[in-house]
A and B are shown apart, each in its own frame.
Chain A
Amino acid sequence: MNNKPLRPLYIIPYGAWILFFVIAPIALIVYYSFFDLSGNFTFENYQNFFTSVYFKLTISSFWYAFLITFFSLLFAYPTAYFLTKTTHKQLWLLLIIIPSWINLLLKTYAFIGLLGLYGPVNAFLEMTGLGKQQLLFTDFSFVFVAVYIFIPFMILPIFNSLDKLSPALIDASYDLGANTWTTFRRVIFPLTLNGVKSGIQVVFIPALSLFMITRLIAGNKVITLGTAIEQQFLVTQNWGMGSTIAVFLILFMFIIMLVTSGSERGKTGNGKVK
């Protein structure tokens, strides 16, 4: 395509968008992280970040994000695998995706009722003789709801990479005498690793920064980096500290992207295009 004269016209709005809504916001976050509450230049925020409070916060945030990603993967992989074996797989995939397009808040709200003290889950527990449990406002409910929210995003890339896998490879593996488990471990899984990686990417990064689910489901018992940022920006109004946490979150995001980005070919993530 060699239409040089067409170019400048297109570039203006899109270029302005990149400048004002991609570069400028990140620059502003970095800039604000060097100011304290009264607007003086300082490194205090960074010193604060390395104190035990924020260190613990970061560690627990990573731990929860790890749990959420791990369980999403654990349940998503078999789901994606079995889905590729169904006869109308595109339709089934669509059925998996529909719940993910229902407003996030509504689904979270449903769990407030479901896991509540008089909710159906507790009624079931009572029936089985386990008795009423405090389910809401626990780590368990937080991880469960987060996995529920994220699992379609994990299924999707894995499904796509499994779908692309040539059945001939699996037949070849069986012909060469591998059993089901060896075929999975040595052929299927390595070849779908890119799908798994993009799944991890689309789950882990948002899981680090959740704040709505922590507030509604975990009742402030779980504090993540996202909750801390929201707290600093909207409650304490300490934009400097909030920005500092955001800077670290952005850094973590880039590191995770570097680790999880496979070779560009065969990338099946959320809309990465070569």
Chain B
Amino acid sequence: MGKLSKLPKIYLIIIFIILYAPIFYLIFYSFNSGGSMSNFESFTLDHYKAVFEDTRLIVILINTVVVALLSALVSTTIGVLGALAIVFMRNKAMRNAVLSLNNILIVSPDVIIGASFLILFTLVGIKLGFASVLISHIAFSIPIVVIMVLPKLQEMSPSLIDAALDLGASKRDILTRVIIPFIKPGIFAGFFLALTYSLDDFAVTFFVTGNGFSTLSVEIYSMARAGITLTINALTGLIFIVTVTLVIGYYFISRKAKTPIAGVRK
């Protein structure tokens, strides 16, 4: 922080403390043998043990991860195809229209997405539960993948494809051996973002989940409404480690991809 004088430094430090305080506060009390988040009695790992012994919670954890992985996988596939479709569109007005439609789900509030999907699923007759949650996660992740892949595709020189065609490559070869390798970093970045969006989602899942199925966010919500349980704190500790690992992984991938963090273009 060479160029900064004292006051801005203090300001930044305060902001950082406030941003991290709630997280470390939760993790700190996850080691508390007392039952509350106000006085620390003695160190214990009981709450972590409780997390692993609670089969219901483990099932929910597995559900959450399965939904996240599957939805990220499917949405990445569809998103990449969508980005290809947009790039190959020659009509500029049409392309802009499709892009605006693409961005609607990114800017819509979660409540709207949740409510409208609830109507949709009820109307079509999809039972609320695993399927409805998975489908909605796929649906709201697709535009994010498109946004991540598109800049990479636009960066690609058309002469690469022409060269491949001249050298006798088939359409399939062009896709799998020219385009996909070139946009790979964008694809990975999209996959990671889709994964985190799915893991983090509460509002949409809350609307479309039935009685029998729950993800972590929804479960924490109902636990938190009932009051303080230190099991949630232990869960935070575990999730924090996983998230930091994911973020660092994403950071290195996006650095390779030269696409800055969280989808913001340079």
Contacts and interface: CB of A to CB of B under 8 A. Distances in A.
Nearest to A11: B85
B147 A28 contact: no
Given A105-B224, A234-B207, A273-B147, A156 B161 contact: no
A85 B8 CA distance: 10
A70 B145 CA distance: 31
B206 to A, nearest CB: 8
A110 B26 contact: yes
A118 to B, nearest CB: 4
B93 interface: no
23 contacts: A2-B90, A13-B78, A14-B85, A15-B85, A17-B78, A75-B15, A79-B12, A82-B4, A82-B9, A85-B3, A86-B4, A99-B23, A102-B240, A106-B220, A112-B228, A119-B37, A148-B19, A202-B107, A209-B110, A211-B111, A253-B108, A271-B144, A273-B265
Given A94-B251, A118-B38, A226-B111, A25 B12 contact: no
A22 B113 CA distance: 9
Given A5-B171, A85-B4, A102 B243 contact: yes
Interface in A60-104: 75, 78-79, 82-83, 85-87, 92-99, 101-104
Given A113-B25, A226-B111, 13 more contacts: A2-B90, A3-B174, A17-B82, A25-B120, A28-B120, A111-B22, A114-B21, A209-B109, A212-B206, A239-B119, A249-B111, A271-B264, A272-B103
A148 B240 CA distance: 18
A26 B224 CA distance: 32
Interface residues of B, number: 101
B102 A18 contact: yes
Given A103-B220, A119-B38, A271-B263, A28 B123 contact: yes
A113 B112 contact: no
Interface stretch (B41-49, B53-61, B197-205): B197-205
A215 interface: yes
A229 B264 CA distance: 31
Contact of A113 (B8, B29, B81, B98): B29
A87 B1 CA distance: 5
Most chain B beta-carbon contacts within 10 A, residue among A28, A96, A216:
A28
Contacts of A6: 84, 88, 171, 174-175
Contacts of A14: 78-79, 81-82, 85, 142, 146
A49 interface: no
Given A11-B85, A17-B82, A110-B26, A3 B217 contact: no
Contacts of A75: 15
Contacts of A98: 243-244, 247
B81 A268 contact: no
Interface in B62-96: 77-79, 81-82, 84-85, 87-90
A243 B78 CA distance: 29
Contact of A29 (B26, B115, B266): B115
B236 interface: yes
Interface in B109-133: 109-113, 115-120, 123
Contact of B220 (A10, A96, A109, A243): A109
A141 B39 CA distance: 22
A268 B120 CA distance: 33
Nearest to B165: A3
B134 interface: no
B107 A257 contact: yes
Contacts of A26: 104, 116
A101 B200 contact: yes
B35 interface: no
Given A110-B22, A206-B110, A25 B119 contact: yes
B202 A105 contact: yes
A23 interface: yes
Interface string B1-16: 1111000110110011
Contacts of B110: 206, 209
Given A3-B171, A101-B247, A113-B37, A82 B11 contact: yes
Contact of B119 (A28, A114, A215): A28
A1 interface: yes
